[in-house]
Amino acid sequence: MPLSPAPPRSEPAPYEQVSIDELGSPLAEVTFVVVDLETTGGSPKDSAITEIGAVKVRGGAVLGEFQTLVDPGREIPPYISVLTGITSSMVAAAPRIGTVLPSFLEFARGAVLVAHNAPFDLGFLKAACAENGLLWPVAASVDTAVLARRLLTRDEVPNCKLATLAPHFSATTSPTHRALDDARATVDVLHGLFERLGPLGITSLEELTGLTRQVDPERRRKRHLADAVPRGPGVYLFRGPRDEPLYVGTSSDLRSRVRSYFTAGEQRSRITEMVALAQRVEAISCAHDLEAAVRELRLIAEHKPRYNRRSRFPERALWVRLTEEPFPRLSVVRRVRPGAGVFLGPFPDRSAADAAVAAVHESLPLRQCTTRLSPRVPASACALADMGRCGAPCTGAQSVSEYAAIAAVLRAAVEGDPRALVAPLLERVDRLAAEERYEDAAVLRDRVAVLVRAVRRRQRLESLATVTELVMARPDGDAGWHLSVVRRGRLVAAGGAPRGTSVRGTLARLLTTAETPLGPDGELAASVDETELVLRWMEKPGSRLVELDGVLASPAPGTGAYNAFLHRVETGRTERDPFADGRSLGTRARPERLAAGQGGPARRAPIASPA
């Protein structure tokens, strides 16, 4: 029987280009749950949820809504009630968050979570799940604030707040700081942003979530700038076309840190622009993290790189000076000169210095006129004398010794005992509060806090700046030691004694090569920032004081008695405005503006508000 012919061999199918829809989840088929929360404050550590609102959408259609008030288990602060309209009485009969969460998680099951400033809302929800023993589902999330930042320009909207974006996209619901209203407004914003994705070729969920992680090709091409950067702690300088320093930074691992500038992890706008200009990276290896931090401060102060914001102008720090005159007065100055009077500070800006001056004048009847007075030449009194706020030394009504006793209170406060200066101020704060003059009491209280912080900072700086020499050691994590030599608050030598080497031998070499700091005109040898860096390094657990030439001690009684007061002031400021954030949510047209078919870097949107 003849064999039947073999079936013809089929030709291999030609390669086919699959569509984007086949590579990912089409946006039109993805279920989104847009959620918004109202809370009693700005952090899940000390605040709780008062309302949850959510809207489930898919393909542009609303599938369902979820809304409930939540009993936070505490009183709702009045300023929150004013902001949201939710009062303690409204939530008295509402369920607790442990009862609400299972229902919400079931409503959102399998969906992509969407929120405006998602870290805020999702952070509260995750914390609530952890507190109630519930598992937080692993799900993708979308932040409409980040999307707006990537897709809109400043010409279109001045910022990316929900209250700005909702009318821009003609939202049918206006944000009202109520959870469901804000969630509905966010849905319209989300759909408006989706309309901007089509020209960019973004049609899948994977492309959407990766939008903020795109790396500009130009940035990627500059990765070779990190090739010669060594490992270990140190300082790096990005240099521009004329070899000028553009940016100075520090890291415990130079190579890893510099490489991160050429990835999607770095999304700050000014850094993106800086990397575009950079032509090379210079790396300076250091013995340990303190030396790296100090070198960074000095390089920033010396070169003032245009892309460094922190500590670019340390010479702009302000001090309050009690002048050396027969009748001393307070003045705000920029330089500390030994023998030129008593100095308090430093202060970061003029408003802080003025607040401290106002607090001192509230406590002490120091003269506020700027003329130079002579005890032998009387002059006419000003209005402050009639108000009892000045002893009128200009008229001869107050002798030099009588006035000196008043000025001595401020001197004693700066040197170590602020009680006589601060106690009358705190009594006045209590008196104003008892009289229900709460705004006046708050203003004075904040001034007192500025004054106490300045006294504390000055005493801490002075305690180290007066020490001729000290040697510190910290474990290096491998049975060795990091060594630092400090003179008058300035780091003058740094090194390391690895495991198995002589610490004393290494230290002898460091002391031999250490510099001798000489400040101009007898000023402090180190900058304020550098001395504070040394103090923080010295106060870390595990630090050892190896040698000391001088006295290292905090003055007594100091400001320790006011720790609770300062804590209350700081806590009160946060509670008064927990959502305050000066960082802009504005968009940028360059360098990350998107054009059709192009990607670009982005940065994470800072949390400015839960709505």
The greatest distance separating any two alpha carbons of the chain, rounded to the nearest whole angstrom, comes to 142
Q: Is 342 helix (H, G, I), strand (E, B) or coil?
A: strand
Beta pairing, strands 49-58 & 234-239 = unpaired
DSSP H/E element including 575: helix 563-576
Q: In a 10 Å sphere around its CB, with 0-12 CB exposed, 13-18 middle and 19+ buried, how is residue 133 labelled?
A: exposed
Q: Considering the candidates 116, 177, 288, 482, report the single residue annotated as catalytic.
A: 177
What does the alpha-carbon distance between residue 438 and residue 424 come to, in Å, rounded to a whole number? 17
Instruction: Tell me the CA end-to-end span of the chain in Å, nearest whole number.
Output: 85
What does the alpha-carbon distance between residue 127 and residue 133 come to, in Å, rounded to a whole number? 10
553 Cβ contact list (under 8 Å, min separation 6): 463
| Cα angle for residues 420, 422, 425 (degrees, 5° grid) | 115
Query: Tokens for 181?
Result: 């209203």
Q: Tell me, letter by letter, the H, E, C secondary structure of 77-133.
A: CHHHHHHHCCCHHHHCCCCEHHHHHHHHHHHCCCCEEEECCHHHHHHHHHHHHHHCC
Please answer whether residues 344 and 458 qualify as being in contact, where contact means their C-beta atoms are separated by less than 8 angstroms: yes
Look at residues 228, 223, 291 and name the one whose alpha carbon lies nearest to residue 254: 228
Bridge partners of 142?
A: 114
Please answer whether residues 247 and 300 qualify as being in contact, where contact means their C-beta atoms are separated by less than 8 angstroms: no
Which value, to the nearest 10 degrees, does the dihedral of the CA atoms of residues 406, 409, 410, 415 take? 150
Extended strands (E) in 508-584: 544-549
Identify whether 567 is a catalytic site residue: no
Place of tokens 């004013």: 82
Please answer whether residues 347 and 339 qualify as being in contact, where contact means their C-beta atoms are separated by less than 8 angstroms: no
- Residue ranges of alpha helices (H) inside 204-340 are 205-209, 217-221, 254-260, 269-277, 289-303
404 Cβ contact list (under 8 Å, min separation 6): none
Instruction: Enumerate helices (H) and strands (E) in the chain, giving the number of each.
Output: 21, 15
Residues labelled catalytic? 177
